[in-house]
Amino acid sequence: MSNLVDLHIHSNYSDGVRTPAELAEMACRLGLKAIALADHDTVDGTDELLAAGKACGLEVLPSIEFSVAYQGYRDVHLLGYYLDYHDAGLQETLKEFRDRRERRGEAIVERINEKLGWEKREPISCEEAAALAGGALGRPHIAQVLMAKGYAQDMQDAFVRYLIPCDVPKRYFPMEEALSTIHRLGGVAVLAHPTTVTQERGVLTAILDALIVLGLDGVEAYNNVCTEQDSAYLKAYADKMGLIWTGGSDYHGIEEGIDMGSGRGNLAIPYSCVESIKRARDRK
């Protein structure tokens, strides 16, 4: 076993295509020491992953990735590590999100079927896509159905031709609510892939400064969208401001060239990141 970890992966309980048990098996085969299942707005796969990880000696960090709105920014992603994911209040809130996401998936399928009708093609059904999902119906599950029917060549083709033009907006957590929820449940809040919020370094610094005041604990300095310069800036910023820094592949199983543990081939996240998260948790 190596001393490497992957602190940002997804399962079929949100928008990934592999089960938590399959992810644990992959991580063990790769020799990873720990992983974090950070599904979007759900923790339904956590117990399955914990059990599978225990069976092969893999450490698992209970986690979540909240879809957040902050100021004028939409679809900001906030990771919560080691939060009490069995909390009744959290479960109720996430159920509401899951129900909304299910309705969103159905609405997307309805729009896609309108487009398929114009193309003189047979419609697809929500049931076909839902059969591939462990939790709420997500766009990658719909894409898999489109591929299986020969309507799209691959995942990217399905998104470009159908899922993006037929998209339906989703609901987001307010940033303050997401941060307070993570902290109320004893968790550690880390901003995922910060440069997707903005590429403007000065603007991003100002946003991070404001989020620290609201309670942000760390930044995901190493990920698939950061350049080496971006990662160096985020790590230096974290060190300067007393934040923790983490990293992960954001593996879904659908993106070409992105692998668990190594991302696009250049990620090597040390176990010391897990130790930093644990220290931050224990200080709360």
CATH number, domain with residue 24: 3.20.20.140
60 and 200 co-located in one domain: yes
273 and 194 co-located in one domain: yes
Q: What is the CATH number of the domain that holds 105?
A: 1.10.150
182 and 278 co-located in one domain: yes
Whether the predicted pLDDT of 2 surpasses 90: no
Number of compact structural domains in the chain = 2
Which of 163, 184, 200 delimits the end of a domain? 163
For 124-180, the pLDDT digits (tens) are: 998 888 887 766 677 888 998 999 999 999 988 999 999 999 998 878 899 999 999
Which of 141, 163, 185 delimits the end of a domain? 163
Structure tokens at 166: 């037929």
Residue 1 belongs to what H/E stretch?
Answer: none
Q: What is the mean pLDDT of the chain?
A: 93
Residue 110, pLDDT score: 94
Residue 74, pLDDT score: 83
First-to-final CA distance of the chain = 31
Q: At what angle do helices 46-56 and 20-30 cross, to 10 degrees?
A: 30
48 and 133 co-located in one domain: no
144 and 64 co-located in one domain: no
Which of 111, 135, 163 delimits the end of a domain? 163
For 42-75, the pLDDT digits (tens) are: 999 999 999 999 999 999 999 999 999 999 898 8
pTM of the model as a whole = 0.85
* Residue 169 falls inside a structural domain: no
215: left (phi over 0), alpha (psi -120 to 50) or beta: left
How far apart CA 274 and CA 255 sit, in angstroms, is 25
DSSP state of 199: S
The whole domain housing 106 covers: 94-163
DSSP state of 40: B
200 and 278 co-located in one domain: yes
